[in-house]
Structure 1
């Protein structure tokens, strides 16, 4: 799902090409130049962060319900590029994409010019799990000396190390790179634990197996929020075409709000609009129920009474997590050199287009 565990893998791939990408930015497609379709709508590209899932659902709803069309936009939802959605947005190959402030911070340190304009998820959903059948693991300290199924990021290593140490362990573990899926890596016995998301893989495990034994970051010493999932765009687009950013953000926000209020209908829309993903309606509905029941997108009561604006960026929670990552020496620049100063979340997000 996305946010960060899967998109961290893409971050690693994208980082390899970032120097080339940033250097070539001036020669890339300029997403701020208006092109229109036959109906006079402005053509806009939105890139997925991974396979279609409930993190993306508001964009699919906005397209299906005509919210984008009402805003004068013809939105094309496209598969994630090999080097990652962040690089595609940075280079102007996509106008908008799903990402998170954690990835925006990582890419900014490598020279990217991107910013988050709407944050969907308001609290962590990452879960770190072993198979329930592995009775030797009862809490994170039991990860000590075991093998971690990883996508290769320093950030994930720092999170696991902190969780183990907070639980009284040493924080030492072996690693193996995930192949086709973390589930398969664990089931094959190649690894003992790995990262999932409560709102997607957690639901999958509950419904279809294998059963998992999971632990969350806030319960074991990891500060802030790593899973600040939302919509990003290029800073150049913000400065040169704020009207486009406002129209897209407002329509997407409306789509997510509809999904939060009508989760079953939104689930059916996602299944219909993303046929190649072969999603099961019951599974997507259970994912949305998990999101709604867990208030992952915000407190509905506060959204309804106006005390919380849907989509507000949690720069405070993000900064706490950024500072932790910097303390763990898990940030690097485009040359692979450790960066000791954390990105500043307040500079990486804006709420100006939510109103």
Structure 2
């Protein structure tokens, strides 16, 4: 969802954020030994630092990576995207999602997801709450969708409209650097946001939004399996595979800390990711929402299984069943094409695009 984060991400792209080593000379695209004989890994963010990345910053600041015997450089988002950066060897590991791996591999990349942070859909399709003419996704029909031209997003929106009883037709407008502004200006009627960030911004600072989750309106599976990706050929090297295991274990410890100490972790992220100029109120509220609604663990504070207790660990595994249902849906919608813009002979396969070997 390229919306509120986009403008800040572009500003942040010129500088390295919170790295375990400094300067481009220390970037190591092969995961070989860095200073003091420790393997140095580079990690490419997908957007400007936010609570999706908080476990990485916690692991860096609290020494979890160091304790694991590795050095980690957290790189700012690249305009080409984390997928391209990992495929081209600019970074060893990147932050992405399963469906983006499917898109990249359809175009000839060789990527694999190895860690899934989000266990529940976090994407939301929203209009301004002041738009009383929009009460369900049916009312998106014939209105203007603020988008970056994603075929995947359009397929989801079309399905939501049809599921709600509408025609499935809508117009599009190109998103600017601030989707909130595009909506309030009247240039668009609805857009995509993230529940754990922009919906929080809306709740705290306005404008108020009326939001719908795709999985509640006819879109199957989980479209938002966000996590870590690597290149197949890189991880086939046993040394790199071992470094990746250490990285995943330390990062997971960082995310577990964030769930158990959401305010402390939020404050740490704000302090360490200075180039992002994060608002402490928003960052803390985002973590509160993540904990209470169970986006990382699959169980929220209000679920019976939690008995109202915080501190649960993240799940981290990729749900290939949910992933395949979504990939099949997008394939039928014609989303995935090869480098020649031709339809793939079959749907991308979740169990080929991912592995849980590194979170065991």
Q: TM-score, normalised by structure 2?
A: 0.87
* Pairing 1:157-168 to 2, within 5 Å after superposition: 157-168=154-165
SS in 1 for 2:264: helix
User: Taking structure 1 as reference, are residues 342 and 193 closer, same or farther at Cα in structure 2, changes over 3 Å only?
Assistant: same
Preserved contact between residue 167 and residue 220 of structure 1 (Cα < 8 Å): yes
Preserved contact between residue 259 and residue 313 of structure 2 (Cα < 8 Å): no
Does 2:148 correspond to 1:155?
A: no
What is the match of residue 54 of structure 2? 57
Match of 2:127 among 125, 130, 135: 130
Does 2:294 correspond to 1:298?
A: no
* Pairing 1:36-185 to 2, within 5 Å after superposition: 36-37=34-35, 39-185=36-182
Q: CA deviation at 1:310?
A: 2.4
What is the match of residue 254 of structure 1? 253
SS in 2 for 1:148: strand
What is the match of residue 14 of structure 1? none
Preserved contact between residue 4 and residue 178 of structure 2 (Cα < 8 Å): no
* Pairing 1:319-338 to 2, within 5 Å after superposition: 319-338=324-343
Taking the aligned partners of 1:93 and 1:212, their CA distance within structure 2 comes to 38
Preserved contact between residue 110 and residue 232 of structure 2 (Cα < 8 Å): yes
Does 2:194 correspond to 1:189?
A: no
Does 2:236 correspond to 1:239?
A: yes
Q: CA deviation at 1:340?
A: 5.1
User: Taking structure 1 as reference, are residues 5 and 335 closer, same or farther at Cα in structure 2, changes over 3 Å only?
Assistant: farther
User: Taking structure 1 as reference, are residues 6 and 273 closer, same or farther at Cα in structure 2, changes over 3 Å only?
Assistant: closer
SS in 2 for 1:121: coil
What is the match of residue 344 of structure 2? 339
Preserved contact between residue 30 and residue 92 of structure 1 (Cα < 8 Å): no
Taking the aligned partners of 2:160 and 2:147, their CA distance within structure 1 comes to 15
User: Taking structure 1 as reference, are residues 321 and 275 closer, same or farther at Cα in structure 2, changes over 3 Å only?
Assistant: same
Q: CA deviation at 1:308?
A: 8.9
Question: How many residues are treated as equivalent by the alignment?
Answer: 330
Taking the aligned partners of 2:37 and 2:28, their CA distance within structure 1 comes to 19
Taking the aligned partners of 2:183 and 2:154, their CA distance within structure 1 comes to 17
Preserved contact between residue 117 and residue 314 of structure 2 (Cα < 8 Å): no
* Pairing 1:214-233 to 2, within 5 Å after superposition: 214-233=211-230
Deviations 1:310-332 (A, max 9, x none): 21111111110000001111111
Preserved contact between residue 120 and residue 298 of structure 2 (Cα < 8 Å): no
Taking the aligned partners of 2:28 and 2:350, their CA distance within structure 1 comes to 26
Q: CA deviation at 1:210?
A: 0.5
Taking the aligned partners of 1:66 and 1:247, their CA distance within structure 2 comes to 13
Q: TM-score, normalised by structure 1?
A: 0.88
Taking the aligned partners of 1:326 and 1:87, their CA distance within structure 2 comes to 22
Taking the aligned partners of 2:328 and 2:207, their CA distance within structure 1 comes to 35
Q: CA deviation at 1:101?
A: 0.7
Root-mean-square deviation (CA, aligned residues, Å) is: 2.3
User: Taking structure 1 as reference, are residues 285 and 213 closer, same or farther at Cα in structure 2, changes over 3 Å only?
Assistant: same
Taking the aligned partners of 1:102 and 1:233, their CA distance within structure 2 comes to 14
Q: Structure 1: state its 5+ residue gaps.
A: 11-28
Does 2:348 correspond to 1:350?
A: no
User: Taking structure 1 as reference, are residues 310 and 219 closer, same or farther at Cα in structure 2, changes over 3 Å only?
Assistant: closer
